[in-house]
Structure 1
Amino acid sequence: MGTTTEAPPGLGQPISAGLVTALVGFTSSFALVLTGLRAVGADRGQAVSGLLLLCLAMGGLALWLGLRYRQPISIAWSTPGAALLVAAGHQSGGYRAAVGAFVVSGLLITLTGLWQRLGRLVAAIPAQIATALLAGVLLPLCLAPVRAAVQLPALALPAIVSWALLTRYARRWATPGALAVAVCALLVHPAHSVGPAAPLLPTLSLTLPAFSPGAAIGVAVPLYVITMASQNIPGLAVLTHFGYRPPLRPVLVGTGLATAIGAVGGAYMVNLAAITAALAAGPDAHPDRARRWIASVSAGACYILLGLTAGLSAILLTAAPPLLVEAIAGLALIGTLGSALAATLAHQEGREAAVITFVVGASGVTAFGVGAPLWALLAGLGAYAFLPRGGSTATAVATGPAPEPKSLTRQAG
């Protein structure tokens, strides 16, 4: 009696993995993207346009890079960057100044791909300073679920409970599930209307950029740094971990140019995926590493289709109290905040400078037209250069010797 061999997985497995990658990436943070764009002055139409262009850019780049290099190169919007926009808030030059800052950030990413020295300069930023900056930007949003639970208990508590349950039993669907429960709670408690009728299909809304020094320094530079540190470098590390050698220059030049060109329509930043990258690059996508690129390509196609739902997404969020939207975004970022805090405090050396960065970033202050993110970066780098890095004797005794801190490049592997 002969033995039978199990047929290798076909296209269904990587295609389904790609669909999950896109659905999880979109539903877990599109609310934050719209909130970030509205925070820097975009109206509803401009925010919808930004969400549409981001999806089109992400999908197009994922299709091109996957088909060209046969690697699962997943592209995403910058989730920490959207949180930074919330922290930066309205700019003195209005939304046009914010669009100008998006253009500058995209050009900086492009320049990084063309000029390796700039990439090494960003990678030389101490890892704990970069992660402290990220944690400081995320903290105010991660406090929103707490405020919403007190101020909007009927709407927020069901979403928070569902998020906790799904985090325990189906982590990747925790934020999408919380969003679905929040929408159901809005239907049960229709205290808010959607306002004037809006088209379901999104339309492009182009804005002429204005280049303001305050926005360029206060938004563009922190957006560039936080995207490189929390998206591109970790995304590269994920692909390297699974045995791939992605073409870094085409990735950076492609995402940078897509950002610079799409900025006039609200596409504030596209980059390598970090959080969802493993869904397409890991063994769950396909046992054969040579076929996992199909997952990132199918994710790209799905993102293009999801972009067509941007109008509906905006209508749903318009019907919700702003605090509830921030609460859903905060739930999505709690895991990222935890990782950032752990990395910030992991090493004794430079810990005080990292804490200073975190505190200034979380303060939300604005001075001389420049927001807290840039002041946090400057304060952290200044403290890292000036303060003793060994920590106090009491701290050293309590924690023991700490390993040598890693730069961003070494951390990425």
Structure 2
Amino acid sequence: MEQVAQRTLSGDTTLSAISAGFAAVLVGFASSVAIVLQAAAAAGASEAQMVSWVGALGLGMGLTCIGFSWYYRAPVVTAWSTPGAALLVTSLHGVALSEAIGAFLFSGLLTLILGVSGAFERVAARVPIPLASAMLAGILLQFGLSIFTSLQTSPTLVGAMFLAYLLGRRWLPRYCIPLVLMTGFTISGLLGEIRADQLTWSFGGLQWVAPAFNPAVLLGVGLPLFIVTMTSQNLPGVAILRASGYSQVPVSPVVAGTGLSALVLAPFGGFGFNFAAISAAICTGPEAHPDPAKRYVAGIAAGVFYLLTGLFAASVVMVFAALPQAMIAGVAGLALIGVIATSLASASAQADTREAALITLLITASGVSFFGIGSAFWGLAGGLACHWLMRRGH
């Protein structure tokens, strides 16, 4: 039976799925690893402990991506909580590192309890698909726009990548994103924009920090970290899976699994794990594989690349710093064009939810934030309120 499963994975593996996994990790790390390092610095972590944070996060995301994607045969991509990391940057000043670790454990325990109880899944199941699709489109809109804002600042690099995308979509649709990646690396190298001289390769290591439990820190850091992660990361992440047609994936076990991962890895700096949003969209879209049933390989590939980033945690920051930002923005935007188009089509498909979906999209795309909670949550809340009012009127 195991040999059959291995042959199935081998048969389902394509270059497009592997490149989608790589693009997801590239975008996920490059867009927010600096925030994670700032959070570690705010907690007073040493350089070796910062390496441990990146290593623990890479290990946790890698194992959960591989495990859940393999088990559910769906591209279940996990990530660290970027809004949570941003929260830590501002809230960990003056907090001892051991107390910060205690807050991470508290947040992971709450996540585990929420997943085991099934409460989060019951809430997520009440979100209509058109509103979930509209929220996804609103989240991704800025990434699509970044193609053309980057084109203004780096016309040669981004223009070549955009041309590669168009040619790939026309003649090699399954290898479109690999072609974009190859073009980006090639043009960046020719232009001298990859700072390869700064790169050194070395293994990372995990460092244990014994937790300390300060009630004020648990409530002031751990509880907000839990709330922000649930509202700003897990809700959009679940919406992406639902909007992409992967309704067979049960939410509660994944949420519980991310909470358990945080409990195990928090002493090493793994402050929290959750459903991915942006990077998941890259793996759930048609560019990963034309057949939705085979896109789980992209999730597994993302997990493998996450494990590699954790293994080489001491070098990963320099790698992403060496790449031009215009290339990263171009890869992200071009990899998400198909997902944006599908999300817009799903959001506007039903006349009775079209207005609520539009409100969801506009609020989400606006980037507004209240009480430290991002626009994805408020967009969904506004859309649901509009949907409820419209239905009450009939």
Given the two structures, how large is their TM-score scaled by the length of structure 2? 0.70
Report the counterpart of residue 180 of structure 2 in structure 1. 178
Report the counterpart of residue 340 of structure 1 in structure 2. 343
Q: Does 1:37 align with 2:47?
A: no
For residues 215-234 of structure 1, the aligned pairs below 5 Å read: 217-231=227-241
Deviation string 1:185-225 (CA, Å, 9 cap, x unpaired) is 22111256468655443455889897177665555412121
Determine the C-alpha separation between the residues in 2 that align with 1:249 and 1:118.
7
For residues 57-72 of structure 1, the aligned pairs below 5 Å read: 57-61=60-64, 72=73
Q: Does 1:211 align with 2:221?
A: yes
Report the counterpart of residue 132 of structure 1 in structure 2. 134
Report the counterpart of residue 203 of structure 2 in structure 1. 201
Amino acid across the alignment from 2:383: G
Report the counterpart of residue 78 of structure 2 in structure 1. 77
Q: Does 1:330 align with 2:344?
A: no
1:362 Cα deviation after fit: 0.9
Structure 1 window deviating more from structure 2 (17-26 vs 373-382): it is 17-26
Q: Does 1:145 align with 2:166?
A: no
Determine the C-alpha separation between the residues in 1 that align with 2:297 and 2:67.
12
RMSD: 4.9
Report the counterpart of residue 379 of structure 1 in structure 2. 382
Q: Is the 8 A contact 2:112 2:258 kept in 1?
A: yes
For residues 47-62 of structure 1, the aligned pairs below 5 Å read: 52-53=55-56, 55-61=58-64
Given the two structures, how large is their TM-score scaled by the length of structure 1? 0.67
- Secondary structure (helix, strand or coil) at the match of 1:138 reads helix
Give the helix-richer structure, 1 or 2: 2
Gaps of 5+ in 2: 41-46, 94-99, 212-216
Gaps of 5+ in 1: 1-7, 241-245, 286-291, 392-413
In structure 2, the CA distance between the partners of 1:161 and 1:260, relative to structure 1 (3 Å rule), is: farther
Structure 1 window deviating more from structure 2 (29-38 vs 152-161): it is 29-38
Amino acid across the alignment from 2:324: P
In structure 2, the CA distance between the partners of 1:276 and 1:330, relative to structure 1 (3 Å rule), is: closer
1:121 Cα deviation after fit: 1.9
Determine the C-alpha separation between the residues in 2 that align with 1:249 and 1:125.
15
Determine the C-alpha separation between the residues in 2 that align with 1:147 and 1:253.
39
- Secondary structure (helix, strand or coil) at the match of 2:364 reads helix
Which of 26, 33, 56 is the equivalent residue of 2:21?
26
1:124 Cα deviation after fit: 0.5
Aligned-residue identity in percent: 26
Determine the C-alpha separation between the residues in 1 that align with 2:177 and 2:293.
21
For residues 12-411 of structure 1, the aligned pairs below 5 Å read: 14-15=9-10, 17-18=12-13, 23-38=18-33, 40=35, 42-43=37-38, 52-53=55-56, 55-61=58-64, 72=73, 75-77=76-78, 85=82, 90-91=86-87, 93-94=89-90, 110-191=112-193, 193=195, 198-204=200-206, 211=221, 217-231=227-241, 236-237=246-247, 240=248, 250-259=253-262, 261-262=264-265, 264-265=269-270, 268-269=273-274, 276=283, 304-305=307-308, 307-308=310-311, 314-387=317-390
- Please tell me whether Structure 1 or Structure 2 has the larger radius of gyration of its CA atoms: 1
Determine the C-alpha separation between the residues in 2 that align with 1:183 and 1:95.
38
Q: Is the 8 A contact 1:47 1:266 kept in 2?
A: no
Count of aligned pairs between the two proteins: 364
Structure 1 window deviating more from structure 2 (220-229 vs 382-391): it is 382-391
Determine the C-alpha separation between the residues in 1 that align with 2:342 and 2:298.
26
